[in-house]
Amino acid sequence: MESFYMRVKKADEAGYAAALAGLAHNKKQETRRMDAVARKLAAMDGGHNKFLESIIVWLDVRAPRYWWQEADTFRLSTKQSESTMHTLTEELSAIDIGDPAAVAAFIADNFEPNSCSPQTLAWIYQTVPQKNLIEIKKKLPEGFLQTRMWCMSYKTLRNIILQRRSHRLPHWKEFIRQVLAQVEHPELLPTLEREKKTDVQQ
């Protein structure tokens, strides 16, 4: 069975009440009646669901570098990432490379399963004494795990779900599953199951 890593934890969410207040202005109706209207409009693109842009969610995501390269495709969002520049050499220096248990623990904490062997870590470790960060980063496997705080609107999240729920990388389906289980208003977002023939697999 294919082994991969994906962890998503919602850090915060805001804007639902304000988004519905804006929707009430548009419809010239009372805000208390907008829940049903929002559910009806959420799936209507072309400007009808622009209120989704006002609902913001912050997601704390830990995933491998090769997945982050794909996530960076979605530009209407912002990310604050764990720094390899400031911490990687110190973390590597702290390992007792002669202790198999310490090496195994470091690999388990910092790499996706089956992406870094003890031999690969030893090869990376050889560069540590020179503190040559560029050489260390060159040697890092794509399965190196990085944590980022990813902030986006429900509109961007909707686009991600529609475009990636059938993607060949299993990380995307797991990302969507974890997000939908944590957001406050999943009824405004597409489901994990494919519903439209217009979905694009990228």
CA atoms of 66 and 130, how far apart (whole Å): 27
Q: pLDDT digit string (tens) for 105-130?
A: 999 999 999 999 999 999 999 988 87
Bridge-partner residues for 13, per DSSP? 57
In the sheet where 7-14 sits, what is the strand order?
7-14, 56-64, 145-153, 77-81
Segment 168-173 long-range contacts (CB within 8 Å, at least 24 positions apart): 168/201, 169/67, 169/70, 170/2, 170/4, 171/4, 171/6, 171/63, 171/64, 171/67, 172/70
Q: pLDDT digit string (tens) for 139-174?
A: 999 999 999 999 999 999 999 999 999 999 999 999
User: Above 90 in pLDDT, residue 58?
Assistant: yes
Determine the pLDDT at residue 202.
39
Please list, in sequence order, all residues whose beta carbon lies within 8 angstroms of the beta carbon of residue 23, skipping any fewer than 6 positions away: 31, 34, 37, 38, 41, 51
What's the whole-model pTM score?
0.90
Domain ranges, ordered by start, for the chain: 7-63+73-81+148-188, 84-145
User: Above 60 in pLDDT, residue 56?
Assistant: yes
User: Above 70 in pLDDT, residue 195?
Assistant: no
User: Residues of the chain with pLDDT > 90: what percent?
Assistant: 73
Closest CA to 171 of 200, 145, 199, 152: 145
Determine the pLDDT at residue 199.
47
